Structure formats: C-alpha cells, structure tokens
Structure 1
Amino acid sequence: MRSAALGAPAERGSATVLALGLVGAVVVLLAGGTALGGAVRAAHQAQAAADLASLAAAVALQQGAGPDAACRRAAGSAHTNGAVLRACSPAADDSVTVRVSVEPPDPVGVLPGQATASARAGARP
C-alpha cells in the first residue's frame, strides 16, 4: 500500500469519473447528431414535397382544372410525400406557388419547429 505522502490514495477512482464524463460527452454528441440529421432530412423531404405538389397543381391547371381543384391535387401530393400543404397560390398564367411543411423527427426534443419549403411550377415568369 502506498503512503498518503505520494498522493496515490487521493486519486483512487478518478479513472471512473473520467470514463463517466467521456460517456456523457459521447451521449450528448450522438443526441445532437441525431437531431441535426433529422432536421436535414426533414428539410430535404419538405423541398421534394413542395416541388412535387407544385408540379401536380400546375399540371392540373394546364389540364383545365380550376384553382381549387389544382390546390386539392397539390394537397394530396404533399400528403403522399409526408408534408402538409400550408399555402397554394395559382396564378393567371397557369403557374402555381405552394408552401409545405414537414414535422422533423425529434427523439430528444431539441428541435424548435417545422421544416418548410416552397416551390413554383408552370409557365416561365
């Protein structure tokens, strides 16, 4: 057994504390990475859903559907792609601008809101 003069007994168990600190840091980094990955995925999903919803609505308008029918088609397309249609604005030139949102997966409860995206399809402005 070492004597107290060498300082060994005061440091007993310090490796355990260090290991627990490192495990805690890894857990925090993994949780942050998971949240960030979910946010990026939701942003990409929202943009894809907005693109497809605007195309669906523009095609409906060009096939002779009215603005309400075109926006219903956009809402259906957004829903099929995991998004919610927030705005649909048909224009006189048979183009449509839509805005959709996607709720990101948030297993740790740190993300503040929804991912939103907008897209326009139809005739050139």
Structure 2
Amino acid sequence: MIRDNAARASFLGIDVWRANLTVFVLAALFASMGGMVMALFVSGAYPEFAYWTISGEGIFINMLGGVSTFLGPMVGTVLLLLLNDTVTRFTEYHGIVLGVVILFFALGLRKGLLDFVAEWVARRRGTGEER
C-alpha cells in the first residue's frame, strides 16, 4: 500500500518513514545473511566477490526466472547454471552469449520466464472458458 500511494498510507495513520526504514533494514538483513552464507560456502570473503559479474549474477537470476513467484529465482538459478555449462562446453564466447541472453530478457521478457509462463497459462485458461 505504501509503494502505491504513500500519501494515502500516511492519511490512514501509517508512519511511512518508519515503515520504509523497517523494510530497508529487513532487506539489508537478508542481504547480509546471503553474504555470510557465501563467505561460509567458499571459506572466506574475497574482494573478487564485489566485481560486477559476481554481484550481478543475482540480478540476472531474477531476470531469468522472474520475481513474482517464489519459484522464479530458483528457476532462474537452474537456467543460469545450464546456460553457463552449455555455453562453456561448446564455445569460448561465453560473455557474448550471456550478453545476448541478458538483452533478450531485458527487452523481450521483462518479467522473467516463470512470470511469462504464468501469464500465458492464465490467458489460455481465460480463452478456454469463453469457448
């Protein structure tokens, strides 16, 4: 509700600043927990983790799978791992292929693959009921 209309939420008695701060702190908490899990997984924290290709993988995973469903990032992770494995196995132009896929999803499937499939199924069911 706050995202859609902060003024309305304020008129309804919600402290918008405090709610935004709480959400920001919770997001930082989850991000820090993810960083701790990664540091435990690789037995340390290294400066290479701050490089844009490593930190951008999370964004790319969400672009691939979608963020509207719980399974979207999981599907994105599987797709990214399969894409990395396949492209690395057959060609040395890993960066170019990954860039083309990123462009395709950024320009064509803005919501991600799983969200696109969910919308397609909903539309398909809608047209099936009209018959």
* Greater relative CO (CA pairs within 8 A, separation 6+): 1
Task: Please confirm whether the aligned pair reaches a TM-score higher than 0.5, indicating the same fold.
Answer: no
Decide which structure has greater strand share.
1
Q: TM-score normalized by structure 1? A: 0.28
Structure ID, larger Rg = 1
